[in-house]
Amino acid sequence: MLKMVVCVSGGGTNLQAILDSLGSGRITNAEIIAVISNNAGAKALERAAAHHIPGIVMSPKKYPDREAFNEAFTAKMRELGPDLIVLAGFLVRIPPRMVAEFSNRIVNIHPALIPSFCGVGYYGLRVHEKVLERGVKVTGATVHFVNEGMDEGPIIEQKAVRVREGDTPETLQRRVMEQAEWILLPAAIDDIANGRIAVKGERVVRLDTVCRDT
């Protein structure tokens, strides 16, 4: 059974997609052992509590400096001992030590088609604002493993979403969540939990021969 810790900063819609997929059997051989948020008021913690999952608040603001937070955060994750760390809208950079200790065991969902609209400063609604400013016709979401860079780890899966005339950042954000994020992230977790993918160098390769319909 794959043990997951899910890290969330806000409403937790991707967390809810994971919970729903666990409940429906779309994700198998996995369980969430804790939800961590840097925001004590995050709705994600309420979602966790509703499913009797421990919620943990760890905010950099509560520590004297970032190094102290990084040490405490890494120690907490080491204590929890997850097989997989899922960043589901987590607006805190993962400490390099944690990345090293949990190599190829941290995944992130990004609301754009990496390498477009990613990196420093590209998060949340800001991504969709920049997509509309640039005038692109297709955007989407990406699930990737986390490495030392920002949105630079090996890509697990991507899904395209069309930009519509008259879109606002809010409407586009919602469509990307519904048509890409809430599909890709549970599918990637299920693949990892059931040994269907592996990292080879800088690439993710499939170990099964059955194509998944995402």
Give residue-wise pLDDT tens across range 127-182.
999 999 999 999 999 999 999 988 899 999 999 999 999 999 999 999 999 999 99
What confidence score (pLDDT) does residue 151 get? Answer: 87
The mean pLDDT of 58-73, rounded to a whole number, is 96
Reduce the secondary structure of 155-211 to three states and give it as a string: EEEEEEEECCCCCCHHHHHHHHHHHHHHHHHHHHHHHHHCCCEEEECCEEEECCCCC
Average pLDDT, rounded, for the chain = 94
Give the other-Cβ count within 10 Å of 105's Cβ.
Answer: 19
Encoded tokens for 195:
């040994």
What confidence score (pLDDT) does residue 210 get? Answer: 47
Give residue-wise pLDDT tens across range 18-53.
999 999 999 999 999 999 999 999 999 999 999 999
What confidence score (pLDDT) does residue 31 get? Answer: 98
d(CA 110, CA 108): 6
Give the other-Cβ count within 10 Å of 40's Cβ.
Answer: 11
d(CA 180, CA 159): 6
d(CA 152, CA 146): 7
- The reported pTM is 0.93
d(CA 207, CA 176): 28
Encoded tokens for 118:
């990613």
Give catalytic status of residue 110 as yes or no.
yes
User: Which of the following is catalytic: 51, 52, 110, 128?
Assistant: 110
Give the other-Cβ count within 10 Å of 143's Cβ.
Answer: 27
